[in-house]
A and B are shown apart, each in its own frame.
Chain A
Amino acid sequence: MLFVYPAIVYDKTEDEPFVIVVPDVNIVAEGDTLEDAVIDAKSQLKIYLQCVNKFDANLPKPTNFEDFKVKYPDNTMMFIDASIQNDEDDDITIIF
């Protein structure tokens, strides 16, 4: 199943890389290129979804895109997506 969340993009500056923030799921990603930042964000979203799955937790509802635009009017926005399958076995250590 595919999950999609709205995200804010901070453009690369002299001092900072591209940064993508997905507020609904507490994710901050970065990369020297926008592509790297997107890959990082998708990777983190996948980990988030795996945790939700493992702990049988409620998944935060994605903010409606119109509401998102109102909340972050000055930012560039994009969508970040990721999918998980129940039988996935990533290199994960369950601590607790």
Chain B
Amino acid sequence: MYKINAEKWQEIAYYINNFFLPVQYTNGRGIYPDRLTLVRSKNLDTMFYEDKDMEFAIVNARALDSTHKVQLSREILEKYLRNPILINEIINVGNDVQNDYTGLFEKVANSLKRAKTTDFDKLNRFVIAAYKLLEPKDALKIAGFREYAFNICIKEELMDEDFCKEQIALLPNSLVALSGLKS
């Protein structure tokens, strides 16, 4: 039995793909459901602790039956998860030479908007496809972060281990594998 319902796994993966890291699980009380809190900062190198400019995302641990997701998620998706400039900044943290991926992520953001969906499986495919186009060292950085985040999910029994391992495998975590992708 996992803390997060299977219906929510792709949503959690989407947050991780956008550099959020699970940091807190709050057990529900009364009418309040269990909730997972994730955090993101611009600084992947320090893994958040030396950076005060953090964003938190709170996700219900249980899927909801209602069909409100498309509407209610719009504001949040626009503001926090479809921001090409911020994603470009996050990827370039610690780089001596700054790579400009803004154009790439603008295309991704537009694709996500046109999709008009909160089918997170579909959204994740857009994002992962873009990460595979990055310079190898940047793709490796992201692969490392994702592996770290999904391993936390395994360790804390938030989600199924096989699902997490499948997610980790979506971005090869070696330069050899990445050079194959780029060719």
- Which A residues lie within 8 Å of B156 (CB)? 93, 95
Instruction: Let me know if B24 and A30 touch, CB within 8 A.
Output: no
- Chain A residues whose CB sits within 8 angstroms of the CB of B21 once the complex forms: 96
Pairwise interchain contact A26-B72, C-beta atoms closer than 8 A: no
Please, which residue of chain A has its CB at the minimum distance from the CB of B64? Answer: A30
In the docked arrangement, what's the CA distance between A93 and B35, Å? 10
Q: CB < 8 Å: which of A16, A43, A51, A58 contacts B23?
A: A51
In the assembled complex, B80 has its CB within 8 A of some CB on chain A: yes
Central interface residue in B37, B48, B56, B76, by most chain A CB within 10 Å: B56
B71 within 8 A of A: yes
B144 to chain A, nearest CB (A): 16
Assess the A19–B52 pair: CB atoms within 8 A.
Answer: no
SS class of chain B's interface: helix, strand, loop or mixed? Answer: mixed
- Which chain B residues border A52 with CB–CB below 8 Å? 54, 56
User: Is the CB of B29 closer than 8 A to any CB of chain A?
Assistant: yes
Interface string of B19-50 (1 = CB under 8 A from A): 00111111101011001010100000000110
Chain A residues within 8 Å of B72, by CB: 10, 16, 19, 21, 28, 30
Contacts A10-B72, A26-B76, A36-B31 hold; do A58 and B54 have CB atoms under 8 A apart?
yes
Chain A residue nearest to B21 (CB atoms) is A96
Q: Which residues of B contact A17 (CB under 8 A)?
A: 66, 68
Closest to B49 in A: A55
CB of B109 to closest CB in A, whole Å: 17
Q: Which residue of B lies closest to A22 (CB)?
A: B75
Residue contacts A-B, CB under 8 angstroms, 14 given: A10-B68, A15-B67, A17-B66, A19-B68, A28-B72, A40-B31, A43-B32, A47-B26, A51-B23, A51-B24, A91-B26, A92-B27, A93-B24, A95-B22
- Name A residues whose Cβ lies closer than 8 Å to a Cβ of B: 8, 10, 15-17, 19, 21, 23, 25-28, 30, 36, 39-40, 43-44, 47-48, 50-52, 54-58, 60, 90-96
